[in-house]
């Protein structure tokens, strides 16, 4: 039984097992409009767009987001991207633990990444920034270690939030080593906490969706509230609390990207740039996974609707 990353255009009647990470019902064109299923099928190696053109009423009812399925399909090239034409689909019983096995996860062990986060917090010289960061990470540790950082665009996999934070922290430490005038504790606290609101904004690691709080408030507002409540709990006020809140509120860099304020201190500017660097790097990786070396991707809306070219792999000759 083949994995998603092994499927190539031209393959017929391939057997697969996957989890449905997205499912919508569409209508065919023409006079006799019929229902079809538009699916994203995913396993631990990747995902694939799929169309199930002749589903039964039972298929429409049972083939929903979050279920594990086994089936047959033909792989085609559609507008420059791989797509599956589903022939048959059967829903399998699966526990949450089993469903997690079908999901892509971060390339580094979560415990290893968490050791870096904990060591950074423990190494903070400012007791207030250390206390705020430690309190919030310990309170949300399990979710912080398992949640994705997004639903679609970047780091949309198990432990994606932790991996995104870990990579950003590595970059921030490199920048801090170049410039000697940065408040490192403020910068590192901002990096570690900048997306913590996503543990409330999103539903969890398995086929996540936006919660009511996520839709109505967003992770920036949620994260700011988390910090304000923790500062009140720890009796921390004044400029320190305000600067850390500013880091969270401005980390998207522009108001049109969701930040209510623009970065007004060096550490906040660097945080927004590091966030953008890591997110875009991962979006390139995700796009490259959909094409072979020497090919061009379809347009990526989140990257200014650009197409991307995947360079040919180096050889030994």
pLDDT in tens, 228-256: 999 999 999 999 999 999 999 999 988 88
Q: Which of 157-166, 216-225, 290-299, 302-311 has the lowest mean pLDDT?
A: 290-299
**Which residue carries 């790097």 as its tokens?**
281
Mean pLDDT of 77-86: 88
Q: What percent of the chain has pLDDT over 70?
A: 99
Query: Comparing 230 with 27, which gets the higher pLDDT?
Result: 230
Query: Comparing 80 with 148, which gets the higher pLDDT?
Result: 148
**Which residue carries 């094409």 as its tokens?**
291
pLDDT in tens, 264-297: 999 999 999 999 999 999 999 988 887 889 989 8
Mean pLDDT of 46-62: 92
CB 149 within 8 A of CB 160: yes
Tokens at residue 258, please?
A: 């969701």
CB 242 within 8 A of CB 143: no
pLDDT at 317: 45
pTM of the model: 0.86
Tokens at residue 83, please?
A: 């797509």
The residues, ordered by sequence, that sit 6+ positions from 98 with a Cβ below 8 Å of its Cβ are: 68
Mean pLDDT of 298-309: 91
Tokens at residue 47, please?
A: 């995902």
Helix (H) / strand (E) containing 233: helix 218-234
Residue 313 has pLDDT above 80, yes or no: no
Residue 94 has pLDDT above 70, yes or no: yes
Residue 37 has pLDDT above 70, yes or no: yes
Mean pLDDT of 69-74: 95
Residue 316 has pLDDT above 80, yes or no: no
Q: Which of 45-54, 243-252, 308-317 has the lowest mean pLDDT?
A: 308-317
What average pLDDT is seen over the chain?
93
Mean pLDDT of 58-63: 94
- Centroid of chain to Cα 275: 13
pLDDT at 314: 60
pLDDT at 194: 98
């Amino acid at each position: 039984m083949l994995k998603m990353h092994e499927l190539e255009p031209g393959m017929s009647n391939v057997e697969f097992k996957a989890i449905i990470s997205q499912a919508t019902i569409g209508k065919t064109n023409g006079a006799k409009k019929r229902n079809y299923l538009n699916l994203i099928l995913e396993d631990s190696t990747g995902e694939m767009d799929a169309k199930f053109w002749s589903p039964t009423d039972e298929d429409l009812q049972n083939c929903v987001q979050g279920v594990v399925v086994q089936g047959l399909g033909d792989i085609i090239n559609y507008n420059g991207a791989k797509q599956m034409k589903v022939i048959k689909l059967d829903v399998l019983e699966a526990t949450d633990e089993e469903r997690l096995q079908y999901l892509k996860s971060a390339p580094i062990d979560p415990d290893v990444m968490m050791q870096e986060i904990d060591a950074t917090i423990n190494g903070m010289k400012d007791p207030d920034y250390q206390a705020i960061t430690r309190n919030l990470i310990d309170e949300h540790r399990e979710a912080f270690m398992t949640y994705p950082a997004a639903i679609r665009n970047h780091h949309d996999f198990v432990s994606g939030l932790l991996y995104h934070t870990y990579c950003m922290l590595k970059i921030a430490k490199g920048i801090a080593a170049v410039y000697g005038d940065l408040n490192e504790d403020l910068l590192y606290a901002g990096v570690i906490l900048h997306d913590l609101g996503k543990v409330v904004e999103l539903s969890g690691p398995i086929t996540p969706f936006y919660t009511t709080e996520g839709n109505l408030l967003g992770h920036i507002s949620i994260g700011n509230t988390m910090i304000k409540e923790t500062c009140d709990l720890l009796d921390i006020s004044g400029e320190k609390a305000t600067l850390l809140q500013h880091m969270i509120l401005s980390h998207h860099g522009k108001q049109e990207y969701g930040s209510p304020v623009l970065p007004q201190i060096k550490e906040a500017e660097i945080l927004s740039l590091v966030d953008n660097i890591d997110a875009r790097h991962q979006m390139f990786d995700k796009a490259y996974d959909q094409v072979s070396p020497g090919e061009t991707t379809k347009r990526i809306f989140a990257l200014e609707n650009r197409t991307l070219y995947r360079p040919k792999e180096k050889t030994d000759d």
